Amino acid sequence: MGQHVDGVVALDDGSTDESLKLLTSAACITKVIRIHPEDKSGWNEPRNRELLVTAGQALGASWFVAYDADERPDSRLWGQWKLLTDEADASGAIGISQPLREIWDRPDHYRCDGVWGRKRKVSIFRNLGRDHQFDPAQWHGEWYPAQFLGTDRFLLTDLNLYHLKMLHAADREQRMRRYLRLDPDRRFQETGYEYLVDEADIALTPISPMEGYAGMARGAGPQPNGRA
């Protein structure tokens, strides 16, 4: 993604492997925020979001793109970037909402039945500077300014955002078990997490080459985490 944006901010959240070395040696990364392992007291999503967005604000960004390491946008997004942001400016939108597609069993197929076909995510949002209110949610929080939660101040696009973390059955099982362990009382998601492995009435949609994402043909995997 570095070739499409003006800067990349990455966060090393107390890693003890080679992640920090990889991040600091990457030419596309403008700034690396490091949380020392001794200062880490569990996963802190609200803190990480605020650190990354604040660092991007200091760099003077007009728009932010907050994709996770296991997410890939429709490759056409970058060619339509100016058109999308101009339309967002004209409509007063503070973010751009993309259909979120869970890659399932094959790199070129996503799940589309039921709730899987209705998911959307706002990972592209405007820099509001000091007016940006941060979402305090510990789990499943939003990156865009929290004062717009539950509003319609977003430009809807049909350019998909693909999530690779659900590709393999073993990954889906591991993800479900992780959330059940971290949120056994379903405080952060009332519907629970068993649906992540439920394949009843499953339907998959093939991704055409025109709508594909970077690395789809070779089965791209997650890369070091960063935000721009």
Q: What is the CATH number of the domain that holds 62?
A: 3.90.550
Q: Give the pair of three-digit tokens for residue 209.
A: 């080459």
pLDDT score of 44? 84
CA distance 136 to 216: 34
Specify if 40 maps to a domain.
yes
Specify if 30 maps to a domain.
yes
Q: How many CB atoms lie within 10 A of CB 228?
A: 24
- Of 23-27, 44-48, 157-161, 162-166, least confident by mean pLDDT is 23-27
Specify if 56 maps to a domain.
yes
CA distance 215 to 219: 6
- pLDDT class for 226, splitting at 50, 70, 90? very low
pLDDT score of 93? 98
Specify if 214 maps to a domain.
yes
Specify if 224 maps to a domain.
no
CA distance 227 to 51: 11
Q: Which is more confidently placed, 188 or 223?
A: 188
Specify if 200 maps to a domain.
yes
Q: 52 near 9, Cβ under 8 Å?
A: yes
Domain that holds residue 211: 2-218
Specify if 84 maps to a domain.
yes
Which residue carries 């990954």 as its tokens? 171
> What tens digit of pLDDT does each residue of 51-108 get?
999 999 999 999 999 999 899 999 999 999 999 999 999 999 999 999 999 999 999 9
Q: How many CB atoms lie within 10 A of CB 39?
A: 8
What average pLDDT is seen over the chain?
91
- Give the number of residues written for the chain: 228
Burial class of residue 224 (count of CB atoms within 10 Å of its CB; 0-12, 13-18, 19+): middle
Specify if 226 maps to a domain.
no
Q: Is 224 a residue whose pLDDT tops 50? A: no
Q: Is 143 a residue whose pLDDT tops 80? A: yes
Give pTM, 2 decimals: 0.89
Number of domains forming the structure of the chain: 1
Q: Give the CA distances from residue 178 to residues 63, 171, 184, 192, in Å, rounded to whole numbers and listed in that order.
A: 32, 10, 10, 12
